[in-house]
A and B are shown apart, each in its own frame.
Chain A
């Protein structure tokens, strides 16, 4: 039982990274812009957070710089796709390469940089005593995790129950309608891509300063940016579903690690332990799982005839009517 709690607890912690990244991408995609550069922005976030934390000793300053750096980089993608009408898929890929490359170059030598103070962890007094759920969600979790909890209802409420949220949805579904009524489609899209970048940076900072502290060049994110993009589809662009998916994924990763330990879940000796090479197959699981999750999400979209925001992926060009 304790083992299950441990796995879920670690799952929530590691899932917070995916949560931030996918929430950010949901917001950007809701406005109609697909940003596949999440992986690159996360790397920039992770690197700058760690680098600033090392140099200044303040993890919070690191977080601040991380989110701003990633947000800044996202604007390159925004400019290329929104103003220059380039293809969003290729631009996002380019952003990934760019982000990965820049973070590699500027993060040179960072892994040997020395000690760094990380973001704090703590328990919430009363809540952590709730049986079963308490220890999972509220005990010894990093401050980022708690911030994550707050973002979920915030994001949902903003998108669905506020006026700016309604404008966001309109811009992503039928930008011409919004434009005709005086909403500045371009400005809103730039802004929400920026928000997506901020959150991706936050996700990166969460990795390097909380969940898996350190800088390991490209291995730092290990493809989580891409998993987040897949989760957005699974989540059907809904923040709550994204949260469920993120935490589940986090738990999965912890489970995979645990499975390779000496004892299995309920105290039985672990058959995997004596054959360490099975570890390679276990490594495949998160990625295979992402594919499965994508299949589920896509089939559901096909079935319900719902799916992506209708204007996702198409640059908005005003007034392409004839005379």
Chain B
């Protein structure tokens, strides 16, 4: 008969002076906590990224400083950062709405590309003659881009709704198909003198840029920020209202949280899968249109298939699927991509994005669970 009535914890093999308990949280953490956790995760990710850069022979401190300078150092580079952020904002909006419903749209990249294609087709086929005034050209291109993106999202949506086909793989495959499709048109049909690009768009098919108004406002000289930013912000605001204040948004959130409860509430899941994939595709397509008419001004594969669709996934997750927060986060990532272009080794921005995402996901844990540190021997 032992005198000591405390039961030794089972898994304690080493004699640590304390033990960690994970217990589920019983209440919501205070408002600032998720933000702090996310920032902490990013900081941690940057440290890990730095270590990896070191391993690959680069200089992490210099790399990071360079990123900060090259993206926020002056009005000029700030404008460049915003230009880079614009397509990311739109793809992250696309991913947010889909992810809200637990529809893993990995095809934002392909939908973006098709959006660029759709907009280009208006100019290059041509659907509208070259002298059409801008106020007709631009809206038509917007429509075409969104339609093309919506179509590209519709296909995985239909497959998921009617055959329960895994949308991750199907939408991803559509990415590769989209690239091949655009390559065909760029190389075979619209090629300009054998080069790997089409001819340039007429000026009235360009999205207006700040530097267009440099005569009136000298500050705007050389700034390439274009209307796409406005499109993106407007889309973000509209999306916010849809998600949080509309009937449809309520249905989307309910389906995403508990599809069986949604069914029980009489919501048609099949229809929503299709509609949300179309909306998601349309937003990504808008991004593609904005990039091709605001920045590149011609249809060319590599600037259009530059990975914005994938970055959008990370931004959406970091913004916790909130459209307004996505605006801020996409600027951060725009900076990363812009400045990261010049960093050696060249895979660094992509790697940092991956590390950030991993750390973010891991940090979610802290929001749902509390860590209790208990000194062993204390319990008796």
| Chain A residues near B (Cβ < 8 Å) | 36, 40, 76, 79-80, 84-87, 89-91, 93-108, 217, 223, 226, 229-230, 233, 277, 280-281, 283-284, 287-288, 290-291, 294-295, 298-299, 301-302
For residues 36 through 59 of chain B, which have their beta carbon under 8 Å from a beta carbon of chain A? 52-53, 55-56
Shortest distance from the beta carbon of A196 to any chain B beta carbon, whole Å: 17
Q: Which residues in B have their C-beta under 8 angstroms from that of A291?
A: 159, 165, 169-170, 173-174
For residues 46 through 96 of chain B, which have their beta carbon under 8 Å from a beta carbon of chain A? 52-53, 55-56
Shortest distance from the beta carbon of A51 to any chain B beta carbon, whole Å: 12
**Cβ-closest chain B residue relative to A39:** B172
The verdict on A80 contacting B183 (CB below 8 Å), with A98-B351, A101-B347 known, is no
Q: Which residues in A have their C-beta under 8 angstroms from that of B314?
A: 97
B52 near A102: Cβ-Cβ < 8 Å: yes
Our pick among A85, A97, A301 for the contact of B353 (Cβ within 8 Å) is: A97
Our pick among A87, A104, A226 for the contact of B172 (Cβ within 8 Å) is: A226
Task: Tell which of B218-226, B267-275, B355-363 binds the partner.
Answer: B355-363
Task: Please tell me if B180 contacts chain A, counting CB pairs below 8 Å.
Answer: yes
The verdict on A281 contacting B184 (CB below 8 Å), with A86-B364, A299-B163 known, is yes
Q: Which residues in B have their C-beta under 8 angstroms from that of A288?
A: 173, 177
Task: Please tell me if B187 contacts chain A, counting CB pairs below 8 Å.
Answer: yes
Interface centre among B165, B170, B310 (most CB of A within 10 A): B165
Query: In terms of DSSP, what is the predominant structure of the interface of chain A?
Result: helix
Q: Which residues in A have their C-beta under 8 angstroms from that of B112?
A: none
A105 near B345: Cβ-Cβ < 8 Å: yes
Task: Please tell me if B327 contacts chain A, counting CB pairs below 8 Å.
Answer: no
Task: Please tell me if B106 contacts chain A, counting CB pairs below 8 Å.
Answer: yes
**Cβ-closest chain B residue relative to A99:** B354
Q: Which residues in B have their C-beta under 8 angstroms from that of A104?
A: 345-347, 350-351
Task: Please tell me if B132 contacts chain A, counting CB pairs below 8 Å.
Answer: no
Q: Which residues in B have their C-beta under 8 angstroms from that of A102?
A: 52, 347, 351, 354
Q: Which residues in A have their C-beta under 8 angstroms from that of B346?
A: 104, 108
Contact with A along B143-178 (1 / 0, CB 8 A): 000000000000000010001111011101110110
| 16 CB < 8 A contacts A-B | A84-B362, A85-B368, A91-B361, A95-B358, A97-B354, A98-B357, A99-B354, A104-B347, A108-B56, A108-B347, A229-B166, A229-B169, A280-B181, A287-B176, A288-B173, A288-B177
A93 near B357: Cβ-Cβ < 8 Å: yes
A105 near B357: Cβ-Cβ < 8 Å: no
Q: Which residues in B have their C-beta under 8 angstroms from that of A233?
A: 166, 169
A230 near B361: Cβ-Cβ < 8 Å: no
The verdict on A105 contacting B168 (CB below 8 Å), with A80-B361, A98-B358, A302-B163 known, is no
**Cβ-closest chain A residue relative to B57:** A108
Task: Please tell me if B122 contacts chain A, counting CB pairs below 8 Å.
Answer: no
For residues 335 through 380 of chain B, which have their beta carbon under 8 Å from a beta carbon of chain A? 344-348, 350-355, 357-358, 360-362, 364-365, 368-369
A93 near B106: Cβ-Cβ < 8 Å: yes
The verdict on A101 contacting B354 (CB below 8 Å), with A89-B104, A280-B184, A281-B180 known, is yes
Give the CA-CA distance A94 to B311 in the complex, in Å: 11
Q: Which residues in A have their C-beta under 8 angstroms from that of B56?
A: 105-106, 108
Task: Please tell me if B261 contacts chain A, counting CB pairs below 8 Å.
Answer: no
Interface size on B, residues (CB 8 A): 49
**Cβ-closest chain B residue relative to A283:** B180
Q: Which residues in B have their C-beta under 8 angstroms from that of A290?
A: 169, 173
A284 near B362: Cβ-Cβ < 8 Å: no
Give the CA-CA distance A108 to B165 in the complex, in Å: 37
B181 near A284: Cβ-Cβ < 8 Å: yes
Shortest distance from the beta carbon of A193 to any chain B beta carbon, whole Å: 15
Query: Given contacts A97-B310, A295-B165, could you give 4 more A-B pairs where the C-beta distance is less than 8 Å?
Result: A85-B365, A101-B347, A229-B169, A280-B187
Give the CA-CA distance A62 to B353 in the complex, in Å: 27
Q: Which residues in A have their C-beta under 8 angstroms from that of B317?
A: 90
Task: Please tell me if B313 contacts chain A, counting CB pairs below 8 Å.
Answer: yes
Top 3 A-B pairs ranked by shortest CB distance? A104-B347, A101-B351, A97-B354
**Cβ-closest chain A residue relative to B311:** A97
B177 near A294: Cβ-Cβ < 8 Å: no
The verdict on A100 contacting B165 (CB below 8 Å), with A86-B361, A280-B184 known, is no
B362 near A86: Cβ-Cβ < 8 Å: yes
Give the CA-CA distance A301 to B357 in the complex, in Å: 32
Q: Which residues in A have their C-beta under 8 angstroms from that of B173?
A: 223, 226, 230, 287-288, 290-291
Our pick among A96, A107, A298 for the contact of B165 (Cβ within 8 Å) is: A298
Q: Which residues in A have their C-beta under 8 angstroms from that of B328?
A: none
Shortest distance from the beta carbon of A64 to any chain B beta carbon, whole Å: 20
Task: Please tell me if B214 contacts chain A, counting CB pairs below 8 Å.
Answer: no
Give the CA-CA distance A212 to B56 in the complex, in Å: 25
Give the CA-CA distance A40 to B106 in the complex, in Å: 15
The verdict on A287 contacting B177 (CB below 8 Å), with A89-B104, A280-B183, A302-B163 known, is yes
Interface centre among A86, A91, A287 (most CB of B within 10 A): A287
Give the CA-CA distance A107 to B351 in the complex, in Å: 12
Q: Which residues in B have their C-beta under 8 angstroms from that of A89?
A: 104, 168
Shortest distance from the beta carbon of B101 to any chain A beta carbon, whole Å: 13
Q: Which residues in A have their C-beta under 8 angstroms from that of B265?
A: none
Q: Which residues in B have their C-beta under 8 angstroms from that of A84?
A: 362, 364-365
Our pick among B55, B159, B345, B362 for the contact of A295 (Cβ within 8 Å) is: B159
